[in-house]
Each structure stands twice: as structure tokens, then as C-alpha cells.
């Protein structure tokens, strides 16, 4: 069935025309996943029976000409740190083995209301901590575009599933680039909304002040569609905004684009830098937009600041996994032994590293020196962004300084791995929206991602520009 890779609106059109039924699509999709995911490992769990059952209910809606939702029959893959009621949610961690979610995340409720079909739970770096999807209790994910390469992380499974055509859309979570970077590595679109746009209720927290759920899709329009559905104030998440939904402006706007050239001088692979340079210059010329060189001096603090804050929050957020109420429990002679055994065995190496580091930053006597200082630097980063957004409408960078790398290449060197997030973490620290769109491939055939950042709540204009850029790039480089 070649219709498997259609974008949302075309897929729904086919259903409406009666070309095929939701159940037929889901059946062939599941067959495809069974056949091909062995080599990719993008799913932790495929909801084979449940998805077909739900599709059959939707079949009837078509037959009875009932009203249908805006994601009618659209297969969606959900990252395994987002709760789907009655399904195991592991966060790719041994410690949550056997935990069955007792409720639906708000985003899942919203997707189901629009008649989406949840096809399964996708692989990830344990609790969202990682940039290569190598830190997973379910094993590493392979990049569908190049064997032996990582898909990026932490939403590596979601990005790989979309790139492999296992689902139309996927949800990921982005704490420091975890949606955008894997999307870039897999040649798909990944979007992190403004902090507070999308409810985090039902997203297993990694770092509460940075986490945001975002869509991974084959194109920009689908990203917008999913975003519009999952966004909005949620009574259950007090950090969500009660503001009107964003709209893509129809009128022509002469956009001003900021490009921090100096920032790209170090550490960015030449091929990536050249590609972005070329696209931007020509695009701007064709549209008669303005391209400005801007400075982002605070970016160099972003990685350490990010790790102190997210580590601190993670050390607290992950304290609930103690073996007492749910998930894994290793017995001990006394309470402390239960804690030590359960957590010591249940968490992977990278998660333990971050918990220990984060807990340290919060200790009395060190708190001022690390956590408070990091918070100050964090507001500096936001200030610099806001200053720049006075001069430009968007800031564009590569999503990652390098394309997908070989599995095992960086896993032994956490610092090197952390650096792959150098361009993405600042958007999380300052809460601004950011999208990664594909812009062709390297000579080796590895996708290149371009990141576009906008000011808080400015998603409407961000998507307008992204659609234009996507168009321009597709015309120039093809798919």
C-alpha cells in the first residue's frame, strides 16, 4: 500500500473518497512495522489489536456518514514517556517495567477526540536523557536513512518511525532539543512549541521547566495541524497559557531573519554551514526579506546552564521511582536497601549520572553557586533572545552542529554527546518556540536540519516562514 506515507489532509481525503478504509491502512501499516522495525527498533510497543479495533470503529463512521474529527484515521505514534491509559509506559527504563498508565495524557485525549489512531509507543533515550537514542532499556534505535547510524534523541523512536513511514505523525517531548535534533537526523519536521502552549499533564517529567511536547511529522503543515490540536490551556497544568490559539497570518510580511554567523564558526561541520548559508541567502533574495547577522553571546553558557537546571529538576522528578508503589522493586532487608537496589539497578548509567549531578547542584552550600547562578544565566539567555527579537523576527541556526553519527561513536564521551544540543537547548531555557525542518542531505546521504526560532507565542508567523522555506528547499533539493 503506497498510501502509507501520505500527509494528514491527503490521507483523510482518500478515506472520504472511499479509496480505502482506516482498518485497511492500519492492517498494512502493522504488517510493515512487523517486517521492518526489527532493523530499526523504533517501537517499544505496537498496539496491534487495539489499533485495528479502533480503526474498525472509525470504518463505521465513514459508512454511516457520521461527523469525523480532523485527524480521522490518522495513525499516530506516541513517545513512551507520554501516558496512554491502560498501556505500559516505560520511558525506556527498567525502573518502570510493568507500570500500566491509569490515565491518558491531555495530549492523548485531544488526539483521540479528533479520531486519531494510536499505533504504538516509541523508543527513546531513558526518561528523555540523551541525544542518540542509545540509552534505552529497549535497545538502541537505528536511523532508517542509514544503517548503523543513530536517529538522534531523545525522541529517536518517534523520528525514526516517521522517517520509516510507520505512522503519519508522532509525538515527542523536547527538553533540550529532543524533538528537533532527531527530526533533523532523520530528515523530518520536529517542532517544540512555546513553553506553556501544550499541556504537560501525562508527560513523565524530566525537567519540568524545560519539557514541552511537540509533533514529529513528514512536513510543516502536518506539524501545524498536530500543534493546533494539542495546544491550549489545561486546567490540570498550571504552567499552560490561557491565550487564544495561534493563526498563520495570511498577509504578506517582510520578514527579518537573524543568522548568528560567528556562532557557526566553531564546531559546525562545514557542509552544514555551507548549506544553511546558501539556502538562506537565496531564499531571502527570492522573497526580498532581510538577513541580519546577529550575536548570541550567551549561547556558550547554554550547555552547562542547561545541565545544572535540568539535572536539578530531574533529580527531584525521578525521586518518585522508589519501588514502593509501582514499577520495579528489588527487595532488601531494610528500607534504604530497597531504595538503593531498586534505583541502582532500575536506572541506566546516563540517568544516574544526571540525578547525581543535579542533586549535587541543589545541596545546601552549593545551591547558590550552581543552581542560582544557572538561573541567572538562564535569564540572561532569554534577555539576549528578546533583545535580538527587537531587531529580527526569527533566528536561524543549524539544528545540530553535525549530522547523524555512528552508533557507539560518542556514547563513551558524554561531553561530546552533550555538545550536539548546543543550538537547541537555548530555546528550552528561554521557553521560545523552535522548529527543525529538513534541508537536503550531506554528501554521505545524511539529512541536514535547519532550526528556526521565534519569540514566545509567535508560532503563527514561525509556521508561515517555515512553510515558505520548506517550499523553497523542496523545489531546490527535492525530497
Residues annotated as part of the active site: 79, 154, 178
| Among the residue ranges 94-102, 112-120, 128-136, 225-233, the one whose residues contact another protein (CB under 8 A) | 94-102
- Taking CB under 8 A as the criterion, the residue among 15, 43, 99, 283 binding another protein is 99
Closest distance to another protein from the beta carbon of 105 (Å): 6
* Closer residue to another protein (CB): 173 or 424: 173
For position 368 contacting another protein by CB under 8 A, the verdict is: no
Q: Which is nearer to another protein, 322 or 458 (CB)?
A: 322
Give, in order, the Cα–Cα distances in Å from 28 to each of 37, 49, 55, 305, 439: 14, 13, 12, 46, 30
The reply on whether position 221 binds another protein by CB under 8 A is no
Helix 106-113 to helix 220-230 angle (10° resolution) is 110
Report CA dihedral (420, 42, 119, 471) to the nearest 10 degrees: 50
* Strand order, beta sheet including 256-259: 43-46, 117-122, 75-79, 169-174, 212-217, 189-192, 434-441, 447-454, 394-398, 256-259, 290-293
CB 115 within 8 A of CB 59: no
Nearest Cα neighbor of 175 from 217, 139, 143, 204 is 204
Q: Is 113 in the site for another protein (CB under 8 A)?
A: no
One character per residue 223-262, x = contact with another protein (rule: CB under 8 A): ------------xxxxx-----------------------
Other C-beta atoms lying within 10 Å of the C-beta of residue 100 = 12
- Of 14-22, 82-90, 214-222, 293-301: span binding another protein (CB under 8 A): 82-90
Min dist CB 319 to another protein, Å, is 2
Smallest separation, CB 306 to another protein (Å): 14
Comparison of 195 and 301: residue with beta carbon closer to another protein: 195
63, 102, 267, 476: residue in contact with another protein (rule CB under 8 A): 102
Residue 363, interface with another protein (CB under 8 A)? yes
Within residues 340-359, the interface with another protein by CB under 8 A covers 359
Cβ pair 425, 377 in contact under 8 A: no
CA atoms within 13 A on the CB side of 102: 2
Q: How far is the CB of 46 from another protein (least distance, A)?
A: 21
Does 333 interact with another protein (rule: CB under 8 A)? no
Q: DSSP of 322-343, one letter per residue?
A: SSSSSS-----SSHHHHHHHHH
From the number of C-beta atoms within 10 Å of its C-beta (0-12, 13-18, 19+), residue 448 rates as: buried
Q: Is 335 in the site for another protein (CB under 8 A)?
A: yes
Query: 3-state DSSP call for residue 452?
Result: strand
- Burial status of residue 115 (CB atoms within 10 A of its CB: 0-12, 13-18, 19 or more): buried
Identified binder of another protein from the candidate list 74, 179, 205, 268, rule CB under 8 A: 205
Cβ burial 149-173 (10 Å sphere, 16+ → b, else e): bbbbbbbbbbbbbbbbbbbbbbbbb
Phi–psi pair at 119, nearest 5 degrees? -95, -25
Question: Does residue number 316 form part of the binding site for another protein (CB under 8 A)?
Answer: yes
Taking the complex as a whole, the smallest distance from the CB of residue 354 to another protein amounts, in Å, to 14
| CB closer to another protein out of 102 and 379 | 102
Only segment of 159-167, 299-307, 308-316, 407-415 that touches another protein (CB under 8 A): 308-316
Q: Confirm or reject binding of residue 200 to another protein (CB under 8 A).
A: yes
What does the binding site for another protein look like in residue numbers (CB under 8 A)?
A: 82-83, 89, 91, 96, 99, 101-103, 105, 200-205, 207-209, 235-239, 312-313, 315-316, 318-322, 324-326, 335, 339, 359, 362-364, 367, 371
Amino acid at each position: 500500500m503506497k498510501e502509507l506515507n501520505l500527509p494528514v489532509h491527503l490521507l483523510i481525503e482518500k478515506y472520504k473518497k472511499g479509496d480505502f478504509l482506516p482498518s485497511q491502512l492500519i492492517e498494512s501499516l502493522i504488517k510493515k512495522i512487523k517486517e521492518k522495525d526489527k532493523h530499526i527498533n523504533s517501537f517499544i510497543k505496537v498496539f496491534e489489536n487495539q489499533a485495528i479495533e479502533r480503526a474498525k470503529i472509525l470504518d463505521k463512521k465513514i459508512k454511516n456518514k457520521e461527523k469525523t474529527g480532523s485527524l480521522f484515521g490518522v495513525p499516530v505514534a506516541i513517545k513512551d514517556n507520554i501516558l496512554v491509559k491502560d498501556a505500559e509506559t516505560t520511558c525506556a527504563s527498567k525502573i518502570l517495567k510493568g507500570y500500566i498508565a491509569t490515565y491518558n495524557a491531555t495530549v492523548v485525549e485531544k488526539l483521540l477526540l479528533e479520531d486519531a489512531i494510536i499505533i504504538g509507543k516509541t523508543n527513546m533515550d531513558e526518561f528523555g536523557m540523551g541525544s542518540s537514542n542509545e540509552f534505552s532499556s529497549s535497545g538502541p534505535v537505528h536511523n532508517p536513512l542509514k544503517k548503523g547510524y543513530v536517529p538522534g534523541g531523545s525522541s529517536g523512536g518517534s523520528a525514526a518511525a516517521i522517517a520509516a513511514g510507520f505512522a503519519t505523525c508522532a509525538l515527542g517531548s523536547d527538553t533540550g532539543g529532543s524533538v528537533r535534533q532527531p527530526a533533523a537526523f532523520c530528515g523530518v519536521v520536529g517542532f517544540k512549541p512555546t513553553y506553556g502552549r501544550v499541556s504537560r499533564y501525562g508527560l513523565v517529567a524530566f525537567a519540568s521547566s524545560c519539557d514541552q511536547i511537540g509533533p514529529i511529522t513528514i512536513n510543516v503543515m502536518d506539524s501545524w495541524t498536530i500543534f493546533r490540536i494539542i495546544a491550549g490551556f489545561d486546567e490540570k497544568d498550571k504552567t499552560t497559557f490561557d491565550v487564544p490559539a495561534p493563526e498563520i497570518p495570511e498577509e504578506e510580511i517582510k520578514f527579518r531573519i537573524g543568522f548568528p554567523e560567528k556562532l557557526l564558526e566553531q564546531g559546525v561541520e562545514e557542509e552544514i554551514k555551507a548549506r544553511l548559508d546558501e539556502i538562506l541567502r537565496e531564499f531571502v533574495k527570492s522573497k526580498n526579506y532581510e538577513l541580519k547577522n546577529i550575536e548570541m553571546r550567551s549561547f556558550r553558557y547554554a550547555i552547562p546552564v542547561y545541565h545544572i537546571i535540568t539535572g536539578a529538576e530531574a533529580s527531584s522528578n525521578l525521586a518518585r521511582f522508589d519501588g514502593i508503589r509501582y514499577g520495579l522493586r528489588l527487595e532488601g532487608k531494610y528500607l534504604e536497601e530497597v531504595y538503593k537496589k531498586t534505583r541502582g539497578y532500575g536506572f541506566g548509567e546516563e540517568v544516574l549520572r544526571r540525578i547525581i549531578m543535579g542533586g549535587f547542584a541543589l545541596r545546601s552550600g552549593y545551591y547558590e553557586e550552581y543552581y542560582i547562578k544557572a538561573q541567572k544565566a538562564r535569564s540572561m539567555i532569554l534577555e539576549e533572545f528578546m533583545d535580538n527579537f527587537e531587531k529580527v523576527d526569527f533566528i536561524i541556526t543549524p539544528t545540530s552542529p553535525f549530522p547523524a553519527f555512528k552508533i557507539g561513536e560518542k556514547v563513551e564521551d558524554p561531553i561530546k554527546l552533550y555538545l550536539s544540543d548546543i543550538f537547541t537547548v537555548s530555546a528550552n531555557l528561554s521557553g521560545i518556540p523552535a522548529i527543525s525542518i529538513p534541508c537536503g542531505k550531506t554528501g554521505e546521504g545524511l539529512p541536514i536540519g535547519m532550526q528556526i526560532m521565534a519569540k514566545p507565542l509567535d508560532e503563527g508567523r514561525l509556521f508561515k516562514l517555515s512553510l515558505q522555506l520548506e517550499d523553497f528547499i523542496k523545489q531546490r533539493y527535492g525530497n
